[in-house]
C-alpha cells in the first residue's frame, strides 16, 4: 500500500515557512509568491502551527484585523492534525476529508519531514490509477 512517504519522495520535503512574529501580510505575500495555500509557522526548528487561506478569511479579514500589523502567531491554527511518512495514503485522505483539512504536516520522530496536501494525494492516486489501467489494458489487449 502507498504511503505519505512515497508522495514526499516524489514531491520533495521542502516546505514554505515563516516565524511566529512574521506579519499576516508577509505570510500572505510569501504564499502568493509560491502559489501555496498555507505556510508552516516554525521557530527554532519546532513546528508551532500552520497559517492557511482559511485563517486569512476567518481570523483576519472577517475580524477586521490589519494584516500589516497582525503577527501570524495571533491568527495561526495551533491544533494541528499531522501524519507520519509511514501513514497509508488512503488513511491520510480519509482523515483530511473528514476533517476538512487541505494541508497536513508530516512528522517523523516528532520532527517536520514535509507537508502533504489534498492535491498531492489526488495527484498520486490518479497516477497510480493510470498505471493500473495501463497494465490492465496491456493484459487484455496484448495478452501480457
pLDDT tens-place string over residues 76-89: 999 999 999 999 99
H-only helix segments in 22-117:
24-34, 53-55, 89-98
pLDDT tens-place string over residues 32-71: 999 999 999 999 999 999 999 999 999 999 999 999 999 9
Q: Is the pTM of this model over 0.75?
A: yes
Q: Which domain holds residue 128?
A: 4-142
Extract the C-alpha cell encoding 138. Answer: 496491456
CATH number at residue 50: 3.10.580.10
Q: Residue 140 — pLDDT band, cuts 50, 70, 90?
A: low
Query: What is the domain count for the chain?
Result: 1
pLDDT tens-place string over residues 9-26: 999 999 999 999 999 999
Amino acid at each position: 500500500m502507498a504511503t505519505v512517504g512515497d508522495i514526499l519522495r516524489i514531491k520533495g520535503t521542502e516546505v514554505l515557512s515563516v516565524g511566529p512574529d512574521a506579519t499576516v501580510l508577509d505570510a500572505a505575500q510569501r504564499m502568493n509568491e509560491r502559489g501555496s495555500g498555507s505556510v508552516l509557522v516554525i521557530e527554532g526548528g519546532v513546528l508551532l502551527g500552520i497559517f492557511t487561506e482559511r485563517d486569512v478569511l476567518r481570523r483576519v479579514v472577517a475580524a477586521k484585523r490589519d494584516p500589516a500589523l497582525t503577527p501570524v502567531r495571533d491568527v495561526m491554527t495551533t491544533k494541528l492534525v499531522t501524519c507520519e511518512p509511514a501513514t497509508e495514503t488512503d488513511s491520510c485522505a480519509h482523515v483530511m476529508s473528514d476533517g476538512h483539512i487541505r494541508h497536513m504536516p508530516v512528522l517523523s520522530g516528532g520532527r517536520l519531514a514535509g507537508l502533504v496536501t489534498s492535491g498531492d494525494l489526488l495527484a498520486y492516486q490518479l497516477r497510480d490509477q493510470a498505471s493500473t489501467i495501463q497494465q490492465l489494458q496491456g493484459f487484455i489487449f496484448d495478452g501480457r
